[in-house]
Structures are given as structure tokens and as C-alpha cells.
Amino acid sequence: MSITSITEVYVFVLAAFLGYQIVRKVPPLVHTPLLAATNAICGISIVGALVEAGAHQTRMSTILGVVAVTAATINIVGGFLMTDRMLKMFRPRAKPVARAKPATETNGRSPGSA
């Protein structure tokens, strides 16, 4: 393993750890408003990951680029799904349709009498 490969792995692990720590410390009430910004940042990072994966400088950089593209894609798709779910909560609910009561043929008699 060359010094460049070791540096690339070190930067990748450090970025993954830092990203995990940052997301973990954000309170749950703030997650939803941050999804749009996170999706934009992931869009930028996916472009960088595609450039890294397609450069074919070393085998390690290509592998880390593919992993970065996969992780960013999962993050973007998850962000859009969560945003869609959040927006569904604010849509007005349809009024329930009133159902007709089932008619019983009693012919003036109480039910159960013969």
C-alpha cells in the first residue's frame, strides 16, 4: 500500500466519523428543516465522488469513489423520501364518507321477535 492510498483511507474514515458525529448531535426537531440543505450538499458531494471514481488514479481511489457515490445516493434518496413523508403530514385530510346504516326489515316488530 502506498502512502497515497493510506492517506485516502485515512481521510475517508475521518470524514465518515465526523459526518456521523455531526448528524448524531443534531436534535430531532431540527432534522426535518435540514433535509433540503443536506440533499443539496449530497448533490455536490456525489459530483465529487463521481469525479474521484472516474479518474482511475489508483484502485483504492476508484473503490472509495464508488463507496462515496453509493453512500451519497442512499442519503439523497432517503432525504427525499423523508421530505415527502413530512409534506404528507401537512396535506388536508379528506373528509370521511358517511356510510348508510344497514337497513333491517322489522315490519314494525322489534328485532328478534317472531
Does residue 101 lie within any of the structural domains? no
Does residue 106 lie within any of the structural domains? no
Does residue 61 lie within any of the structural domains? yes
Does residue 105 lie within any of the structural domains? no
The residue segments making up the domain with residue 71 are 3-89
Model confidence pLDDT, tens digit, residues 69-92: 898 888 888 878 877 787 787 777
Does residue 114 lie within any of the structural domains? no
pLDDT at 106 over 60: no
Residue type, 47: V
The number of folded domains in the chain is 1
What is the value of pTM for the model shown? 0.51
Cell of 12: 475517508
Does residue 97 lie within any of the structural domains? no
What whole-number distance in Å separates Cα of residue 49 and Cα of residue 64?
A: 8
Model confidence pLDDT, tens digit, residues 9-66: 888 888 888 878 877 777 666 666 666 666 777 777 788 888 878 888 888 888 888 8
